[in-house]
Amino acid sequence: MSRKIVITGATQGLGKALATGLMQAGHTVWGCGRTSTAINSLAKQHAAPHDFAVVDIAQAQQVQIWADQLMETWAAPDIIINNAGLINKVAPLWEVPDQEISDVFDVNIKGTINVIRSFLPSMKAKGQGIIVNFSSGWGRSTSPGVAPYCASKWAIEGLNQALSQEVPSGLATIALNPGIIHTAMLETCFGQQAHSYLSPTEWAHKAVPFILRLSENDNGQSLTVH
Ligand SMILES: NC(=O)c1ccc[n+]([C@@H]2O[C@H](COP(=O)([O-])OP(=O)(O)OC[C@H]3O[C@@H](n4cnc5c(N)ncnc54)[C@H](OP(=O)(O)O)[C@@H]3O)[C@@H](O)[C@H]2O)c1
């Protein structure tokens, strides 16, 4: 059965690879990102019922308008993939600029919350839906140099658990560690070493079926793509 899937951060990296893999598998993707050139190119390649919109998930109002437009035209999504994220430039906490810390929290935590708050009511009304919140190995362990990012991903784990106690039956919310994949984000923290990891397309071959298998029974789980 074809499913309707919201993916944040569809312009590059894991989000783009997931969007491509899910569309190839016959599902409908509603993606967003801030980079208009990438969004326009996706929109040109993939006509309705797919939809790609320039949305900054850190802006609650933009997210609400995006969700309202999709709901009016189509219906509630079956799956939400909260993938969009930022990492701070590797540095000890006291050297990370204040604005960079705010950006990491605004996108990774508040952005995820904005998307859930805008789309979840439609899933609740339908009595069905899966919410996937991208965590990280650094949402369950820590390393020096990425304290703001670790704080944001540990927050996602806590948010996910609390939310799982609130959602009605039929809905599930899952914290998902994607693994370690060669993306632009990984290069900022691993440098040349990033090249030794899977490409996003290779990763999507296992991530797409993994995400499609998630069910109501996974509510509240902290899982890792394998
Ligand atoms: N790569 C890994 O090994 C790894 C490991 C653990 C967890 N993760 C997590 O996996 C997710 C994807 O990471 P990635 O490696 O694919 O990173 P990436 O290549 O840097 O891509 C990040 C995506 O997020 C989008 N984004 C950032 N800020 C946004 C905003 N305010 N509004 C909308 N979209 C925004 C970007 O699009 P625009 O710039 O166009 O807005 C881009 O599409 C993140 O949550 C990351 O923390 C990745």
Q: Which atom of ligand 1 is nearest to the CA of 87?
A: 47
Whether 56 contacts 103, CB under 8 Å? no
Q: Which of 6, 41, 64, 83 maximizes ligand 1 atoms within 8 Å of its Cβ, making it the mutation to test the pocket?
A: 83
pLDDT band at residue 13 under the 50/70/90 scheme? very high
Task: State the angle between helix axes of 112-126 and 147-164 in degrees (0 to 180), rounded to the nearest 10.
Answer: 20
Question: Of all protein residues, whose CA lies closest to atom 4 belonging to ligand 1?
Answer: 180
Question: Ligand 1 mean position to 113 CA, how many Å?
Answer: 16
Length of the chain equals 226
Give 130-154 pLDDT, tens digit per residue.
999 999 999 999 999 999 999 999 9
State the pLDDT at residue 115: 99
- The alpha carbon of 8 and the centre of ligand 1 are apart by a number of angstroms equal to 8
The C-alpha angle with vertex 4 and arms to 21 and 226, in degrees rounded to 5, equals 45
Alpha helices for the chain (secondary structure H): 13-24, 36-45, 60-73, 98-105, 112-126, 147-164, 184-190, 200-213
Average pLDDT rounded to a whole number, residues 63-87 = 97
Centre of ligand 1 to C-alpha 33, Å, is: 9
Residue 129: φ, ψ to 5°: 160, 150
> What CA–CA distance (Å, rounded) separates 201 from 206?
9
pLDDT at residue 151, as a whole number: 98
- Whole-angstrom Cα distance, residue 136 to residue 183? 14
* One-letter amino acid for residue 18 of the chain: L
Cα of 185 to ligand 1 centre, how many Å? 7
CA–CA separation, 211 and 13 (whole Å): 17
The two most distant CA atoms of the chain are separated, in Å, by: 50
Percentage of residues of the chain with pLDDT beyond 90: 100
Q: How far is the CA of 83 from the centre of ligand 1 (A)?
A: 6
Please tell me the predicted confidence (pLDDT) of residue 48. 97
Task: Give the separation between CA 16 and CA 19, rounded to whole angstroms.
Answer: 5
Peptide bond into 49 cis (omega under 30): yes
Confidence of residue 76 (pLDDT cuts 50, 70, 90): very high
Q: Mean pLDDT for the chain?
A: 98
Pocket-forming residues, ligand 1, beta carbon under 6 Å: 8-9, 11-15, 32-35, 38, 56-58, 83-86, 107, 111, 134, 136, 178, 180-181, 183-186
Torsions phi, psi for 160 (to 5 deg): -65, -45
Predicted pLDDT at 201: 98
What predicted TM-score, i.e. pTM, was given to this entire model?
Answer: 0.98
Residue nearest to atom 46 of ligand 1 (CA): 85
Instruction: Kindly list the domain boundaries of the chain, sorted by start residue.
Output: 4-213
Catalytic residues: 149
Q: pLDDT class for 126, splitting at 50, 70, 90?
A: very high
What architecture is the 4-213 domain classified under in CATH?
A: 3-Layer(aba) Sandwich (3.40)
Q: What pLDDT score does 16 carry?
A: 98
What's the one-letter identity of residue 20?
A: T
Please state, in angstroms and rounded to a whole number, the distance separating the CA atoms of residues 73 and 151.
Answer: 37
pLDDT at 53: 98
Q: What atom of ligand 1 comes closest to residue 56's alpha carbon? A: 32
Residue to mutate (ligand 1; options 16, 34, 180; most atoms within 8 A of CB): 34
Summarised one tens digit per residue, pLDDT across range 79-107 is: 999 999 999 999 999 999 999 999 999 99
- Closest-CA residue, ligand 1 atom 7, reads 136
